[in-house]
Every structure is written in C-alpha cells, then in structure tokens.
Amino acid sequence: MKNYQIEFEKRVSFIKKILKDSHSDGIVYGNSGGKDSALVGILCKAACENTVGLIMPCMSKRNFEQDMNDGNTVAKQFKIETRTIDLTDAKKTMMSLLKGITNLGDMAVSNISPRLRMISLYAVAASENRLVAGTGNRSEAYMGYFTKWGDGAHDFNPIADLTVREIYEFLGYLNAPSVIITKAPSAGLFEGQTDESEMGITYAEIDSFLLDGKVTAENKALIDRFHTRSEHKRKLPVAYSNEE
C-alpha cells in the first residue's frame, strides 16, 4: 500500500505548481458524488482555497437523489464550495435537434451528458480564470471507460495514475464519507447503470491485472479488447503532415 500522506503532499504541491504556472485564480471540477470526484475535490481544496465543485444532474433520477446528496456530503465535510446546474433541459433540446438529422443510438445519447458537463465546466473556468480538474482514474483510462471530449477533457488530473483500488485506499486515509466508499461506481448516465455491469468486469479484477499482473485468460481477453478499441481516446487527434 502506498504512503498516502506522502501521496497527498506530492499531489497538493503538483496542483499548486500548475496553478502558479498558468496564472489561474482557482479550480473547478465536476462533483458527481462519486469516489474519483471526491478525491479530486479534497486534493484541490487542500491546494487552493478557491475551488468550486459543480453538481450537474442530467435526466437520471440517481443524479438528483443519491449522487447529489453524496456530492454535497463530501463538499460539506471538506468545506468545498458547491454550485448546481440542471442540464436536463439542455440534453432534451440536443436530443430533439439531433433526431432531426440522424437516428440517435443509445451510446450517442449517453455521451451527451458528459459533454454537456464539459461545456459547463469550461464556461465557468473561462469566466472566472479557473482550471478544470479532471476526475478520471488509471483503471478507467486503461479500459477507455470515459467519454472523449466529455469527462476525458480537463486541464490537469491529479489522480490519473491511481487505480480504483488505490482511490478507495486514499479516501479511507482521508476519512472521506463512508457513502462514497461503499456505493457502486456509476456514471449515472441512465437508470440502474453501473460501471462494472457495463464493462462486464469488476474494478477489482481490472486492478488485479494492472497492479499485480494477475488475471484469468477470459478477463485478459476482455481487458485487451476494451484497451485496443479505445486507444484513440488516449491519443491526440491524428493530423496530416507533409513529412509522412
């Protein structure tokens, strides 16, 4: 297990340097009520008093109930400023407009929510000279379990190298609310959605592969499939070059 006191100090210093170098006045991040956003919020608040978490419910009932309550619980304990913006009408408008020009698939509909959240975060950041903090972890990144130009868009990410196992350990060290640590990971994109059910594998199994090199043949094949088909998400866009 990592020494999380040292990890805390190093990551807070990292955030402070990013802010200083960019001449920014503060930080904004998406407070989803989940484990990753909780850790990012705690770290950012420790590094910068002027940290704001946006709670951005978008149609899903869970967004307006459990996720919002849990996000507020973390914010209250760690004294993080919180603002709420309901993106439901914005998503309904986008869906209505898009249905006029294409047949919207389920994945396309699901990805509208994180992209609307990205727009909201960057609008606040641009208006108040803030940086957008990312909230994705190593396990999700390896599997490609994030939305390109949605929750994958940020100015810096203080937890990108941590697996889900390590996120939970870190939160335990910081005495984060138990509701954050015990709830099933979910992006809350639709009713009943959980990360693990969508991927068909648990984070414990993914982390066992990433951290310990232990994995069944079946899980290795699934992990490789997810990783390969999402490679474009982890790279900059392909640009034409005369040198090719």
Structural domains in the chain, CATH included, are 4-232 (3.40.50.620)
The pair of three-digit structure tokens given for residue 27, joined into one six-digit string? 């930080």
- pLDDT per residue as tens digits for the range 35-55: 999 999 999 999 999 999 999
Measured over the CA atoms of residue 189, residue 191, residue 194 and residue 197, the dihedral's sign is negative
Q: What is the pLDDT at residue 188? A: 64
Q: What is the pLDDT at residue 62? A: 87
Task: Report the mean per-residue pLDDT for the chain.
Answer: 95
Q: What is the pLDDT at residue 101? A: 97
Q: What is the pLDDT confidence band of residue 184, given thresholds at 50, 70 and 90? A: confident
User: 99 burial class (0-12, 13-18, 19+ CB within 10 angstroms)?
Assistant: exposed
Q: What is the pLDDT at residue 60? A: 87
pLDDT at 243 over 80: no
Packing angle of the helix pair 106-128, 88-99 (nearest 10 deg): 130
Task: Report percent pLDDT > 70 for the chain.
Answer: 96
What are the DSSP calls for 28-75, one per residue? EEE--SSHHHHHHHHHHHHH-SSEEEEE---S-HHIIIIIHHHHHHHH
- pLDDT per residue as tens digits for the range 83-134: 999 999 999 999 999 999 999 999 999 999 999 999 999 999 999 999 999 9
